[in-house]
Amino acid sequence: MELLHGTSLAAAIDLEAADIAAALGLESADAMRKQLMRRMGEHFERGGGATRLLSLAEAAAPLVRLVAATLRLARSAAASTSNALARCMESVGLGGFAPPLRDPPERRHDLSRALRTLVRVHGVAMLLDGVYNADPHPGNVLLLPDGRLGLIDYGMCGRLEGSARESIARVVLGLAAGDRAAVVDTYERAGYRACWHGGAPHGPDAVYRFATFHLDRIDLSPVGVGPGGEGGGGSATMPVMKLLRSTIEVSVPDWVEQARRLGGLLIGVGSQAGRPISLAHEWAPIAEEVLASAGGARAADARRLRTHLTGLSA
């Protein structure tokens, strides 16, 4: 057991929000979050996702983080200078005239790097090792001073056998490639069944969208339901929220349930930090190794860690 000293990911996200709000001249971090949530909503309605971790704040205003970092450095330098002066005056007997000691600004972290590591380490744990932390919300992740992540609270863990991990890997690769037929086939062969309230089965577009929510990204664009879809009135598409309200899941395989819980948490953490992700693209190299391992070609652990957790090529 090791005692870890660090900042929770939740606190780091809040600190960054406050920095960006100050740099943009907004009255509060909440005002900035409202703007960001509106932009992200529009992003999700267009299909969402990304081939890498993305900061919408950076995309909208490339100088914002530079300004925020400059302000932060200025505050840190001012605090350090004031404290040094106070200690110097105290050492020569002038402590009564010294300015009060000031707390330096809280340490900021590279959130993009931390989130990418978080996503990948859980992909390695679930897909390659088969044992993983099933509750990696921002309060259970510490950002350590040396740049490492501290993962705490393993009170909820998941376990998956090899065949289940291979199924998840096939879905991940299908989603990354946009291969609807492969994704739907894997779900249906495993026994996943969803239907309208009236009992008619869903078509492949709906099943593919569910899998997208589970293991790729938030996509709020209209869903194809085809003619005759219950509640669709013969229309070719349906708003995604109406589809979800009109759906009954009749059968959900255990690996789908486990994968969508972990995938949904990681996708949600990225969105909370203003960096919506494509989980399938982040996990695709790991999924490829899972299927290669099934054929007896397993990479050495050192290569796995270097490739999957850092993104460096072998």
User: Which percentage of the chain shows pLDDT scores above 90?
Assistant: 50
Q: What is the pLDDT of residues 170-199, one digit of tens each?
A: 999 999 999 999 999 999 999 999 999 999
DSSP alpha helix (H) spans, the chain: 9-24, 29-45, 56-60, 64-91, 111-123, 162-177, 180-190, 204-215, 240-245, 254-272, 279-294, 301-304, 310
Calculate the average pLDDT of the chain.
Answer: 81
- Of 266, 284, 290, which Cα lies nearest the Cα of 138? 266
Contacts 24+ apart (CB under 8 A), 200-205: 200/228, 200/229, 200/230, 202/247, 203/229, 204/180, 205/180
- Rounded mean pLDDT of 32-37? 76
Residue with tokens 């495993």: 190
Please provide the size of the chain in residues.
314
Residue with tokens 């391992």: 293
Residue with tokens 């809040």: 14
* φ, ψ for residue 223, nearest 5 deg: -110, 140
CB atoms under 10 Å from CB of 218, counted, come to 22
Angle at 268 between CA 247 and CA 222, to 5 degrees: 40
285's tokens? 């190299």
Amino acid present at 71: L
- Cβ atoms of 256 and 190 within 8 Å: the answer is yes
Confidence of residue 48 (pLDDT cuts 50, 70, 90): confident
160's tokens? 């998956």
* pLDDT score of 76: 57
- Rounded mean pLDDT of 118-135? 95
Residue 237 β-bridge partners = 224
